[in-house]
With several copies, the nearest count.
Chain A
Amino acid sequence: MTTVAVKPATMAQALTRALRDAMAADPTVHVLGEDVGTLGGVFRVTDGLAAEFGEDRCTDTPLAEAGILGTAVGMAMYGLRPVVEMQFDAFAYPAFEQLISHVARMRNRTRGSMPLPITVRVPYGGGIGGVEHHSDSSEAYYMATPGLHVVTPATVADAYGLLRAAIASDDPVVVLEPKRLYWSKDTWNPEDPPGVEPIGRAVVRRTGRSATLITYGPSVPVCLEAAEAAQAEGWDLEVVDLRSLVPFDDETVCASVRRTGRAVVVHESGSFAGPGGEIAARVTERCFHHLEAPVLRVAGFDIPYPPPMLERHHLPGVDRVLDAVARLQWEAGN
């Protein structure tokens, strides 16, 4: 046994590594999008891929998102595994018809004879000082579209594992990459990157007995910080990182809530008709008699994403999470 160097990597680097490993392992994996080739993407996630695998494997496309996703459909029909980059969340909207009407439905339409193994990478969420249209949380749209898998990593290791799993999946997967975690770091062993994570499994990031924080993506670090702070107030919070929004891991989530009896859903996306509504509703359906209080939601406001100078007021932070925890009707028991 040799000792191996364990060095820190950012989430962006982990994503790059996942793409590179997938491309090396499978010649049918093709990356396409705006600026993904020569530039390596505006977040540098595709850095070096065109140089290593050639422009035919990592291709700068014309500037047209429906065209990118639409041609990816055709490529997948012919046996390739396209990985599409949408440059920013709001710039995926022009591709919605292709996504909803074709990508999500082709397998079903053809009774399984024409699956579309397409990965759609979407940098999402705010907190990076982006101007209008650069900070949307669009997960509600994807979640409401049957036929898509939707995953979102919160750690460097999951970024690698989930992206590999997405590319390996025979079904379309939307990978929501939390922009403000692109530069978050963790140590890992580049000789032996973490494994492929199964899609559809949540993970308990912190165990606790008082209440469960159900969260994902950019709000995971916020919840972990809130859980630390809550300790001072006497609350021992469990934090569940969903990782996969579709399929939803009812098992892990409900096991936690049944244990703690209280839950808060935390996300950056708007509240109304956002992911939290679904999560609160299904947890309540399944754990009603275990609940000491209604499942509460801490979310972005129901407004267009704010300009950079005002975004801090919008983003759910530690205080807002703690305020919600405080409203979990502690007088009622436990």
Chain B
Amino acid sequence: MTVMEQRGAYRPTPPPAWQPRTDPVPLLPDADPYRVLGTEAAARTAPELLLRLYAQLVRGRRYNVQATALTKQGRLAVYPSSTGQEACEVAAALVLEERDWLFPSYRDTLAAVARGVDPVEALTLLRGDWHTGYDPHEHRVAPLCTPLATQLPHAVGLAHAARLKGDDVVALAMVGDGGTSEGDFHEALNFAAVWQAPVVFLVQNNGFAISVPLAKQTAAPSLAHKAVGYGMPGRLVDGNDAAAVHEVLGEAVRTARAGGGPTLVEAVTYRIDAHTNADDATRYRGDAEVETWREHDPILLLERELTARGLLDEETRQSARDAAETMAADLRARMNQDAALDPMDLFDHVYAEPTPQLREQRALLRAELEAEEEGAR
């Protein structure tokens, strides 16, 4: 049986047998975002997982703060912070197996780091020494993607290819609320559903696309409601509740791995910082809104839960903080070294073999640089 034949989709067979094959009701998200922390569902979550999430959240916040500081020191060209969104970033990374693939957007360096990518390599694009700093195959993390939503069909294609090869690999793709308006979002979700590809789409609805609030982006009951139009389940989750995001994504990953097809997850969260360090958020939102969200901080929520369950002693706190500081110190130190640059890189990777035209241009630049060096001597 081919993959094509395994799919279930409605056909408009002649009347009167018009009934849709899929019941839409199970595809629809709940009205309220799913929460775990502070609810009865929390009891189901293993303490080890909560503590692991906690350590990663603390480290993730420190990473965001450090990266933002590096922009002020001119060590990063730009940084789109995920402060406030660490629960999504971290859960997306932790929920995957080693053989799975992560497709991050420009905002998701933290997810890449949480999956094991060296922070310095994750930040290469934003430092500006090259477009991607890591080998995507090493940790199975696709290059950070800047053109919005264009990474989504890549994730679908990769997941589909893995399935065709018989590998039980899942792809998890991250996109913002604004990105859901792009045509590529639509095409990717449709391909995924038709192919029943093992993909999980994680929309981080952080309320804004740069300055544009969600209300100008969509009139939908929720972004998760888009799922039913592709015949896949949509799930709405509190994006600041790390345990809830982990659980919902985990379920989606398991379904995908088992051949059950894709899921669309909307995680409702908030971008605490400006769009990037270059953005001035005061132009489009008030402090009060930010403050309300600070009270719903993902670390705070988790600490409250851990404390209530007696899982958070000072030692645990301190060890998380220490690990975060070690990471930050290392990042700071290494980012303060100048990046190693080779201008010949400009020509050497455009094609497997440079074209005759590129060889000429390479020679020109090499000669210019040699003359420059000559002059400098």
Contacts and interface: CB of A to CB of B under 8 A. Distances in A.
B21 interface: no
B75 to A, nearest CB: 11
A34 B142 contact: no
Contacts, number: 258
Given A59-B4, A62-B216, A131-B125, A111 B349 contact: yes
A111 B132 contact: yes
B303 interface: no
Given A70-B150, A303-B358, A64 B187 contact: yes
Contacts of A52: none
Nearest to B356: A247
Interface in A44-70: 54-56, 59-67, 69-70
Interface in B355-371: 355-358, 361, 365, 368-369
B153 to A, nearest CB: 3
B158 A74 contact: yes
A148 B164 CA distance: 27
Contact of A111 (B183, B186, B345): B345
Contacts of B160: 71, 74-75
A56 B356 contact: no
Interface in B88-131: 106, 125-131
A37 B78 CA distance: 23
A304 interface: yes
Contact of A307 (B130, B209, B283): B130
B158 A38 contact: no
Q: How large is the interface on B (under 10, 10 to 19, 20 to 34, 35 or more residues)?
A: 35 or more
Interface in B248-263: none
Interface residues of A, number: 85
A314 B346 contact: yes
Contact of A98 (B127, B153, B361, B369): B153
Contacts of A320: 368
Nearest to B217: A62
- Most chain-A CB neighbours within 10 Å: which of B137, B181, B346? B346
A248 B130 CA distance: 28
B316 interface: no
B331 interface: no
Interface stretch (B34-42, B188-196, B221-229, B264-272): B188-196
Contacts of A114: 135-137, 143
A12 B162 CA distance: 31
Given A62-B190, A75-B160, A310-B343, A247 B357 contact: yes
B49 interface: no
4 A-B pairs closest in CB distance: A74-B157, A70-B153, A67-B187, A308-B128
21 contacts: A35-B210, A39-B284, A54-B2, A55-B5, A56-B2, A60-B4, A62-B194, A67-B181, A67-B190, A70-B150, A74-B155, A78-B161, A102-B147, A108-B349, A111-B349, A113-B135, A130-B77, A302-B350, A302-B357, A309-B341, A313-B365
Interface of B: 2-5, 77-78, 106, 125-132, 135-137, 142-143, 146-148, 150, 152-162, 164-165, 171, 178-179, 181-184, 186-188, 190-191, 194, 209-212, 216-218, 283-284, 339, 341, 343, 345-352, 355-358, 361, 365, 368-369
